Amino acid sequence: MDELLGIHHVTAVTGQARENVDFYTETLGLRLVKKTVNQDVTSTYHLFYGDEVGHPGTEMTFFDWPDVPHHIAGKGDVTAISFMVPDRAALVWWTDRFAREGVRAGAIEERYERAVVPFLDPEGQRLELVAGGPSHATPWKESPVPEEFQLGGFGAVTLTVDTLMPTAKFLTDILGFRQSGEYKFPDNPSRKAVVFSSGPGGLGTEVHVEERPDLPASQVGIGGVHHVAFRTPDDVQHRQWQQFLMQHGVAVTPVIDRYYFRSIYFREPGGVLFEIATDGPGFTADEDVSQLGQHLSLPPFLEPRREEIEKQLQPLEV
């Protein structure tokens, strides 16, 4: 099987679905490409944001879990999610926008020879914009953000773990990443991250790992990440990954059909939940591109329960 193609999606937790939609669509300018329910807890939304069609590599997704506690940051955690923008001029534009809209954001800083702007969503989700990188995203014409400044998919995810080596070995020896560099954090040079990449390499494929034994263990909750998924092109290679992980003693789930893609889940040694997902069939499996995200989508096995499910959900329209 081929190397993993890069980041597929990142799934995080929100306690305020309506505000979440506002921020990711109105402020960040992503398209809500799918409004469905958590397949295991059907009284809660699973929201997907992305480019015009929600291409793999652009999908930021949220479980709407209003009753869970707030996320506790620490080790075994995804501590940053970066989105690519074309260049430094775009970062300047975004910095102004964040200031106008009251988004908590830092100034432009240099990291790993790239310009980066860290910012937070309204629930404290740790996000970044990074300049440069090849965008595979299709612009969303109805976005409030002009095309030249739109987010071009994920750049990298940063993991924070107790001990670097087990996670590093897992990434390289099992998942086929290569170690491609390291950098110090500009605001605190005693902190360092090691960069791993896969497939084509560079932004879109990178996992940054910071070793922080001093931190408490993290806990999944509102404002935190649930898991990170990586891309494999098709079902054949997806099954091969499942077999390969099992043969290497990784506790991996069976292949699960998420309808818009197939999934397998496993935990890396530092405690972060990983997924490998197929590129297809994608979000146009049950809706036309022009209609994406406008209505509640249910996978066929939940369709018979639509009426009951819709009654339990809080409407998202303002």
Interface residue list for Zn ion (CB under 5 A):
11, 229, 275
| Shortest distance (Å) from residue 261 CB to Zn ion | 8
Q: Which is nearer to Zn ion, 11 or 25 (CB)?
A: 11
The answer to whether 38 and 297 have CB atoms below 8 angstroms apart is: no
Measure the CA angle with vertex 242, ends 176 and 13; round to 5°.
Answer: 85
| Shortest distance (Å) from residue 8 CB to Zn ion | 8
The answer to whether 256 and 262 have CB atoms below 8 angstroms apart is: yes
Q: Which is nearer to Zn ion, 56 or 132 (CB)?
A: 56
Q: What are residue 7's phi and psi, to 5 degrees?
A: -75, 135
Measure the CA angle with vertex 258, ends 256 and 259; round to 5°.
Answer: 125
N residues, the chain: 318
| Shortest distance (Å) from residue 13 CB to Zn ion | 12
| Shortest distance (Å) from residue 277 CB to Zn ion | 6
Q: Which is nearer to Zn ion, 7 or 292 (CB)?
A: 7
Q: Which is nearer to Zn ion, 114 or 231 (CB)?
A: 231
| Shortest distance (Å) from residue 131 CB to Zn ion | 27
| Shortest distance (Å) from residue 238 CB to Zn ion | 13
**β-strand pairing of 154-161 with 77-85:** antiparallel
* Alpha carbons within 13 A on the beta-carbon side of 162: 10
Q: Which is nearer to Zn ion, 83 or 261 (CB)?
A: 261
Q: Which residues contact 203 (CB under 8 A, 6 or more apart)?
A: 82, 84, 130, 132, 133, 134, 155, 156
**β-strand pairing of 109-111 with 77-85:** unpaired
Q: Which is nearer to Zn ion, 118 or 223 (CB)?
A: 223
